[in-house]
Amino acid sequence: MKTRKIILDCDPGHDDAIAILLAGSNPAIDLLGITVVAGNQTLIKTGINTLNLCQYLEIDVPVCLGSANPIIKNIEVCELIHGETGLDGFDFETLKRDFDSRSAVEFIVQTILDSKDPITVVTTGPMTNLALAIKVEPKILENIEEVVLMGGSYTNGNVSPAAEFNIFTDPEAAYIVFNSKLKVTMIGLDVTRQVKVLPEIISRMEGINTKSSILFTKLMKVFNENQKSVFGLEGGPLHDPVTIAYLIDPTILDLKYMHCDIDISHGPSYGRTNCDIFDYLHLEKNTFVAMDINSNRFWDIVEIELKNK
Ligand code: RIB
Ligand code: CA
């Protein structure tokens, strides 16, 4: 089996945690390292959460701290959904892991330049670290196979009528990545809202009774409580793991290649991913946008990985 070498950049975050779980367990994924960004919570909290998750799941990869703030904006965390810790709902044992000495940008640049094989960069938080790495060392563009991101929406947003959280938090970073001429695959709210952690999913995964399923169940119960109180949802959309499930089985997504522009105009649509689905503007296409998802296959992938350990 051909494995896909990846760097995962994230802001754990309940759904990021499940993305880390999938990336750390499936043999199709060669997880080279995890870089952390502020987003769902402050950088130190998303960083500590990442170390705790790697310790609990026995994932032995470098964890590198990245940017504490977006490129232009100030950080506004998402405490209502992810809680004061950023990962409310699970009590980890005493942390014995520490951060790698390299910053996220140093790790991304060094790993990509040193790799004999092209690397896929997966982002499940604001895209600050990847954007800064591209600006610091543009040579990495020659050895990045694909950027797979959770973010954006070709319909409506989840932090404003127009914008999704990851893009809205750092629109300028997203603008840099979407205009980098890299292969960009955007997995937006349009498909992630189709994989809600409904009560029957909780029951299905709880019954597996492995370390991973215990983590999944405890985190998702809190995630769902918060999603219910904020959005009135019966189950939270499991956004971030769709990126990894796509790498495990690309057939779970229907993709359409189109021009996508990031609105950095500071108006009411600031941070919107303007997806030109019908090619009205006849601009150069730059993004593979996820239009639909095979939800049943997604949950099968999650179940398989929860059974793994
Ligand atoms: O809009 C959903 C995204 O914002 C997810 O990545 C979630 O973890 C938050 O970061
Ligand atoms: Ca996230």
Token pair, residue 145, equals 């196979």
Cα of 35 to ligand 2 centre, how many Å? 12
Cα of 37 to ligand 2 centre, how many Å? 9
Give me the pLDDT at residue 2, please: 75
Q: Please give the model's pTM, rounded to 2 decimal places.
A: 0.98
Q: Per the residue annotation, which of 9, 11, 170, 276 is the catalytic one?
A: 11
CB of 49 closer than 6 angstroms to any ligand 1 atom: no
Token pair, residue 46, equals 């998303």
Q: Regarding the domain with residue range 4-308, which homologous superfamily does it belong to in the CATH classification?
A: Ribonucleoside hydrolase-like (3.90.245.10)
Cα of 242 to ligand 2 centre, how many Å? 11
Residue 33 Cα distances to 2, 93, 134, 167, 269, angstroms:
18, 22, 17, 22, 34
Atom of ligand 1 nearest to the CA of 240: 6
Atom of ligand 1 nearest to the CA of 14: 8
Report the C-alpha gap between 275 and 155 in whole angstroms: 9
Q: In degrees, to the nearest 5, what angle opens at C-alpha 23 toward C-alphas 302 and 86?
A: 85
Give me the pLDDT at residue 81, please: 87
- Mean pLDDT, each 10-residue run in order, the chain (309 residues): 92 98 95 98 98 98 98 92 93 98 98 98 98 98 98 97 98 98 98 97 96 97 93 94 98 98 97 98 98 98 94
Atom of ligand 1 nearest to the CA of 13: 8
Contact residues for 203 (Cβ-Cβ < 8 A; gap 6+): none
Residue bearing the CA closest to ligand 1, atom 10: 125
Give me the pLDDT at residue 1, please: 65
SS3 assignment for 190-223: HHHCCCECCHHHHHHHHCCCCHHHHHHHHHHHHH
CB of 39 closer than 6 angstroms to any ligand 1 atom: yes
Give me the pLDDT at residue 241, please: 98
Place of tokens 């954007």: 131
